[in-house]
Structure 1
Amino acid sequence: MPFHLRFDSEDRPHCRFALSPLWELQEAVRTLGAPYRHGSHLPWLRRLRDGAAGLDLRPLRLLTPERGRGPDFLCPPPGGPATTIEDELDRVRGTAPERVRAELLRALAATPGAADTRHGRALLADPARAAADLAALLELAWKVLIAPHWPRLRALLEADIAFHAGRLADGGPERLFAELHPRLSWSETALTVRSRHGGPPEHTLDGDDLLLMPSAFVRPDVVCDVGPSWPATVAYPARGAAGLWSEPDGATPDALATLLGRGRATVLTALAEPATTTGLAQRLGLAPSSVSAHLSALRDAGLLTSSRYGHQVLYERTPLGIALASEAA
């Protein structure tokens, strides 16, 4: 059922972008529990099979009901693109015990019998210890599931933010939401969200920010949150997430390599989606300095353009670059 986020009619919507390591971790835990719903993540699942087998994630899964809301304190809203997992875990540990207990009760009540399980009783018996134990479990899960891959994941998310922030700056909400996700649509002063994850029929922001948060694991759906602990938030699949775990296949066309050199041709071929230097270096297994040199040469030749968002520079092909790469393929 669609629901609507309404903005003050006198102002343009004030959107800000952020990324959340804890959000990615908790969506990764969901993916681990239902791997065949997320075919694009199978290479990641195969890589962590042995390490994940040693994780007891039952307390976290008990608090992520199929229907209903999990504890908000386990995933505090991010402060911005520079939020770290350490920052977020510190906030989990510092949650007031009375809030911990109230949110645990709400989450456990969403699954019949959950509060009476061994883990459910232990969590409710000592809320302060529950917050510490859950933070420790999240930290361990982070080290096993996400930390080895975080540079690649972070590069993907930051590139997405740079891309869409540029679209918002250039064309306003009309251009942003036309490209962000098929289940989002903008009309005058309202954003309509069509998501199977529920939400109120309508919510008015009254001048508050709308938080936009790319995610590698939320695909293919979008999630809208208007809960008491979060600002109005739309989490959406990051651009390029479907190919996140794919490795270079060595398919750089020989004709393009002859024309540009193997390194530059490889970089141009890899830019099917806009990306940052770090993201390309992670994906191609090349030194960032080498990728940077190739990007500069391709940009100077008129095959790429670059745009800056904060400290990130996003590269994408020009029409000439697209034509050259397509012709040589």
Structure 2
Amino acid sequence: MLRYLLTEDDLGAVRFGLSPLCELGLSLRAIRDPSRFPLQVGWLRRTESARERLDMRVLGALIDERLWTPDFLNPRPTSPLTRLEDELAALAATPREVFRADLVGVHGRVPEVFEGSSRRALARIVRELTRLWETCFEPYWPRMRAVLEADIAYRGRQVAQSGVATMLNGLSSRIVYEHGLLSVMLRDPTERARPVGGEGLTLVPTMFTRRASAPIGDGPPMIMYSARGQGTLWESERVANPAAVAAILGDARASLLTMLGDPASSTELAVRLDVTPSAVNQHLRVLRAAGLLTSSRYGRSVLYLRSDLGTALLEGATG
């Protein structure tokens, strides 16, 4: 159990971030034990042949049988716009003592493949993580990032509508916030209590945590939690539309209007409907021009959301 102690100022300073390096490191969980990550079976199937060409002796030594990864693979992101290149540069510069301590924290020792020069070991890790990214992540990152950014947008709406406490309690069944105490139920049996103390708590949505994860050591306050909307990431989605709305707008636009009760990008919507992003964008422009959708930029994506008028149209057709 990990407990973060938050003052009122700490609560007001809670922020979100995205970390490509976190996704790389945590993806090793799904690679090692696919049965525990059913929502990522589509990704595992698509990347199976590419992963056969990677040095799994290096990557496999970054995770143990508990599916723990060293903290140097889970840097605290500074924003939703964090770049992998910057994170890998920081990883390569990890001090020797930190590198070794983080490995010992996972394995109880430094794995044989990383013995000797820490600088050479880090260079091998960066090289294999780069290859993992280029072959298994880069082709799919736009759709992954769209889901992660949509999750952050959803949590932001929760804060605006119901407050930070409600948002925190909705992150996971393993996360409970009450009266300044944020409890994270981890597989680690160690009891830890840590004041946030003005450092700021960062929340990081991820594809590769089933409930909630946190740093093993005494790093900056951070919680990684399972992003919403992963269930449709690798499969096309059939949407039930009100017949009256479909008759007016057409099936494609009615489907989009029905789906956009929560924010989503054109990339995510294209994946869910199994169509091209350009086709989705054409329909979104028409719906927005008609006042049925709103849009706002978040990070690199434009997120769309059904407007009050769009909601009234759907409700009127089903009422």
What TM-score, normalized by structure 2, do the two folds share?
Answer: 0.85
Q: Does 1:222 align with 2:212?
A: yes
How far apart are the structure 2 equivalents of 1:199 and 1:93? 30
RMSD in angstroms over aligned alpha carbons? 3.0
Number of the residue aligned with 1:245? 234
Query: Is this contact kept in 1: 2:203–2:224, CA < 8 A?
Result: yes
How far apart are the structure 1 equivalents of 2:35 and 2:45? 12
Change (3 A) 1:321 1:54: farther
Change (3 A) 1:304 1:226: farther
How far apart are the structure 2 equivalents of 1:224 and 1:170? 27
Number of the residue aligned with 1:155? 146
Once the 2 structures are TM-superposed, how far is the Cα of residue 96 of structure 1 from its aligned partner?
2.6
In the TM superposition, what whole-angstrom CA distance separates every residue of 1:147-177 from its partner, at most 9, and x where no partner exists?
A: 1110000111111111212322343212312
Range with bigger deviation, 296-305 or 70-79: 296-305
How far apart are the structure 2 equivalents of 1:29 and 1:45? 11
How far apart are the structure 1 equivalents of 2:235 and 2:305? 19
In the TM superposition, what whole-angstrom CA distance separates every residue of 1:104-146 from its partner, at most 9, and x where no partner exists?
A: 3443326xxxx5xxxx334111111000011101111112221
Change (3 A) 1:96 1:273: same
Number of the residue aligned with 1:46? 45
Query: Is this contact kept in 1: 2:295–2:302, CA < 8 A?
Result: yes
Question: In the alignment, which of 177, 184, 187 is matched to residue 178 of structure 2?
Answer: 187
Change (3 A) 1:68 1:215: closer
Aligned residue for 1:138, secondary structure, equals helix
Query: Is this contact kept in 2: 1:160–1:238, CA < 8 A?
Result: yes
Number of the residue aligned with 1:86? 85
Aligned residue for 2:217, secondary structure, equals coil
Q: Does 1:144 align with 2:135?
A: yes
How far apart are the structure 1 equivalents of 2:25 and 2:295? 33
Number of the residue aligned with 1:134? 125
Number of the residue aligned with 1:260? 249
The share of aligned pairs that are identical, in percent, is 37
Q: Does 1:62 align with 2:81?
A: no
Aligned residue for 1:166, secondary structure, equals helix
Q: Which amino acid aligns with 1:190?
A: L
Change (3 A) 1:182 1:299: farther
Once the 2 structures are TM-superposed, how far is the Cα of residue 275 of structure 1 from its aligned partner?
1.0
Query: Is this contact kept in 1: 2:70–2:216, CA < 8 A?
Result: no
Q: Which amino acid aligns with 2:251?
A: R
How far apart are the structure 2 equivalents of 1:278 and 1:306? 14
Query: Is this contact kept in 2: 1:6–1:189, CA < 8 A?
Result: yes
How far apart are the structure 1 equivalents of 2:258 and 2:228? 17
Change (3 A) 1:70 1:236: closer
Once the 2 structures are TM-superposed, how far is the Cα of residue 80 of structure 1 from its aligned partner?
1.2
User: Structure 1 unaligned runs (5+)?
Assistant: none
Once the 2 structures are TM-superposed, how far is the Cα of residue 49 of structure 1 from its aligned partner?
1.8
Q: Does 1:168 align with 2:159?
A: yes
In the TM superposition, what whole-angstrom CA distance separates every residue of 1:272-300 from its partner, at most 9, and x where no partner exists?
A: 64312343244445555653453354356
How far apart are the structure 2 equivalents of 1:302 and 1:185? 39
User: Structure 2 unaligned runs (5+)?
Assistant: none
How far apart are the structure 1 equivalents of 2:10 and 2:67? 33
Aligned ranges 1:69-80 → 2 under 5 Å: 70-80=69-79
What TM-score, normalized by structure 1, do the two folds share?
Answer: 0.82
Between Structure 1 and Structure 2, how many residues are aligned?
316
